[in-house]
């Protein structure tokens, strides 16, 4: 993603009225939008894109993402204040609201709160080298402490998640040797960037979910689950909400029956109202596992970030190896489960391995657990899988649900072998 030069414009979400409610019923919404916008825009119909797609570079804001759907008639575009005012007066338009930014929720050793809750790929290298020299072997699988802590290995004789599809909405996934056979491909909604990860965050998340049990490297929670990278965060670790909405729409509209689980290790302190529409739509078929968010350890408040704050998302906080809440972890009434999120070893670009911390690292433990549970409960809907995960969690903190641990630490063994009549 190259640096933008929008010449005073900002990115917006334009929500149109349904076609039968518009004044200009014969015009497509892209025609209506173009009438109020000076430069000629290049519209990309999100829903018809196929695997491997990536939007072109868009430094001047001339590319608009089009959600061509009767129920969700929206366009995401860069607009001037004058253009926004014109669209707000248009009788065909229901709402115009700012887009906005969100970030990867993983912490590198060099994470600086003042620069946002994300890291750059170059910051991973020293930590990667340290971890490689401390036990990740080319001759045998290393089981990261988090995978053992949530009792995943106890399930592998019954299921490794084979045939379960997990979407990773993140910085993409690098085709790591330890993911070979499980990684099916990807798509990007980040201008000028392919779905292949050049940051490290998405690859690390993917490895925790489904690094293979193949005799080398590390092993994930569900080592036979299928992975698909949906790139909604740029290689700098930041993204526009419109990219996430495009990814969620594409996942549900054309592959909703394929993806059992989606991992969203990302978040922001505020979000456009339109985001919840896409969260609700995607969650009709797919369990959305989300990171609660990261904060400086001394922050007075650590509220759960968006989209984890939404009811249809399963919000996950991070714990340390002693089963206590991580100092950086978001917390609040929205938290349902907690999982390991400190010093988690997993895959990184370049066939490397590294240790990272964050609620970004906690969420994929739960996504992997959901894949294992799904593996032994294939007739159940994903809402029922979510219920099983919650009901079989190991309580931490005060009895019952609380703001730090939710219902407790996810328990793969309890969920996978839970007896359910459906």
Are the C-beta atoms of residues 323 and 340 closer than 8 Å to each other?
Answer: no
Residue 115 has pLDDT above 50, yes or no: no
Mean predicted confidence (pLDDT) in 318-325: 97
pLDDT tens track for 39-82: 899 999 999 999 999 999 998 999 999 999 999 999 999 999 99
Asked which of 68, 99, 130 is the last residue of a domain, the reply is: 99
321 located within any domain:
yes
Mean predicted confidence (pLDDT) in 394-404: 94
Q: Which of 201, 204, 365, 377 is catalytic?
A: 201
Cα–chain center distance at 116: 17
Residue whose structure tokens are 């001759």: 139
- Pair (76, 151) in one structural domain: no
- Pair (54, 199) in one structural domain: no
170 is catalytic: yes
Are the C-beta atoms of residues 307 and 279 closer than 8 Å to each other?
Answer: yes
pLDDT of res. 3 = 53
- Give the confidence band of 257 by pLDDT, cuts at 50, 70, 90: confident
365 is catalytic: no
- Pair (135, 70) in one structural domain: no
Strands annotated E in 171-312 = 183-188, 226-231, 238-240, 261-264, 266-267, 287-291
Cα–chain center distance at 97: 22
- Give the confidence band of 136 by pLDDT, cuts at 50, 70, 90: low
Cα–chain center distance at 160: 22
Q: Which of 58, 90, 99, 170 is catalytic?
A: 170
- Pair (228, 114) in one structural domain: yes
The structural domain count of the chain equals 2
pLDDT tens track for 160-183: 999 999 999 999 999 999 999 999
- Pair (218, 160) in one structural domain: yes
- Give the confidence band of 129 by pLDDT, cuts at 50, 70, 90: very low
Cis bond before residue 307 (omega within 30° of 0): yes
Asked which of 76, 99, 122 is the last residue of a domain, the reply is: 99
Q: Within a 13 Å sphere around the CA of 232, how many CA atoms are in the beta-carbon half?
A: 30
- Pair (44, 114) in one structural domain: no
- Pair (237, 382) in one structural domain: yes
207: domain range? Answer: 102-417
Residue 225 has pLDDT above 90, yes or no: yes
CA distances from 377 to 64, 100, 282, 402 (A): 41, 38, 21, 28
- Pair (233, 357) in one structural domain: yes
Asked which of 99, 121, 150 is the last residue of a domain, the reply is: 99
3-state secondary structure (DSSP) of residue 207: helix
| DSSP secondary structure string for all residues of 315-378 | EEEEE-TTS-B-TTB--STTEEEEEE-SSEEEEETTTEEEEEBSHHHHHHHHHHHHHHHHHH-T
- Pair (45, 92) in one structural domain: yes
Residue whose structure tokens are 């984890």: 308
360 is catalytic: yes
- Pair (208, 91) in one structural domain: no
Lowest mean pLDDT among 92-96, 125-129, 308-312, 416-420: 125-129
Q: Which of 360, 377, 402, 411 is catalytic?
A: 360
- Give the confidence band of 133 by pLDDT, cuts at 50, 70, 90: very low
Residue whose structure tokens are 């549970």: 373
- Give the confidence band of 1 by pLDDT, cuts at 50, 70, 90: very low
- Pair (205, 231) in one structural domain: yes
Mean predicted confidence (pLDDT) in 341-368: 95
pLDDT of res. 8 = 85
């Amino acid at each position: 993603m190259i640096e933008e030069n929008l010449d005073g414009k900002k990115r917006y979400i334009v929500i149109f009225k349904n076609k039968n409610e518009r004044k200009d019923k014969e015009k497509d919404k892209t025609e209506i939008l173009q009438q109020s916008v000076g430069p000629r825009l290049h519209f990309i119909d999100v829903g018809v894109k196929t695997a491997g797609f990536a939007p072109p570079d868009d430094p001047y804001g001339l590319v608009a993402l089009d959600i061509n759907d009767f129920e969700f008639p929206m366009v995401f575009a860069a607009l001037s204040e004058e253009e926004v005012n014109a669209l707000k007066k248009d009788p065909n338009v229901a709402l115009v609201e700012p887009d906005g930014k969100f970030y990867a929720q993983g912490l590198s050793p060099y994470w600086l709160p003042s620069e946002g809750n994300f890291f750059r790929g170059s910051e991973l290298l020293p930590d990667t080298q340290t971890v490689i020299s401390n036990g990740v072997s080319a001759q045998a699988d290393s089981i990261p402490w988090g995978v053992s802590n949530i009792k995943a290995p106890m399930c592998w004789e019954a299921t490794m998640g084979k045939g379960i599809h997990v979407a990773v909405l993140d910085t993409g996934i690098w085709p790591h040797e330890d993911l070979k056979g499980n990684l099916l491909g990807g798509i990007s909604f980040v201008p000028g960037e392919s779905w292949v990860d050049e940051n490290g965050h998405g690859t690390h998340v993917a490895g925790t979910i489904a690094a293979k049990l193949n005799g080398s490297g590390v092993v994930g929670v569900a080592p036979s689950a299928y992975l698909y990278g949906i790139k909604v965060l740029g290689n700098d670790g930041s993204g526009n909400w419109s990219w996430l909405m495009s990814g969620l729409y594409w996942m549900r509209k054309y592959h909703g029956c394929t993806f059992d689980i989606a991992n969203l290790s990302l978040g922001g302190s505020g979000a456009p109202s339109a985001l919840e529409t896409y969260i609700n739509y995607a969650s009709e078929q797919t369990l959305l596992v989300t990171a609660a968010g990261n904060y400086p350890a001394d922050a007075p408040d650590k509220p759960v970030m968006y989209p984890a704050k939404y009811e249809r998302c399963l919000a996950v906080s991070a714990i340390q190896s002693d089963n206590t809440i991580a100092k950086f972890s978001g917390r609040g009434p929205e938290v349902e489960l907690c999982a390991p999120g400190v010093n988690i070893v997993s895959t990184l670009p370049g066939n490397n391995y590294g240790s990272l911390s964050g609620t970004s690292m906690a969420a994929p433990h739960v996504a992997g657990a959901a894949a294992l549970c799904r593996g032994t409960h294939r007739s159940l809907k994903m809402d029922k899988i979510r219920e099983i995960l919650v009901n079989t969690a190991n309580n931490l903190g005060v009895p019952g649900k609380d703001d730090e641990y939710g219902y407790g630490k996810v328990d793969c063994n309890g969920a996978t072998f839970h007896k359910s009549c459906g």
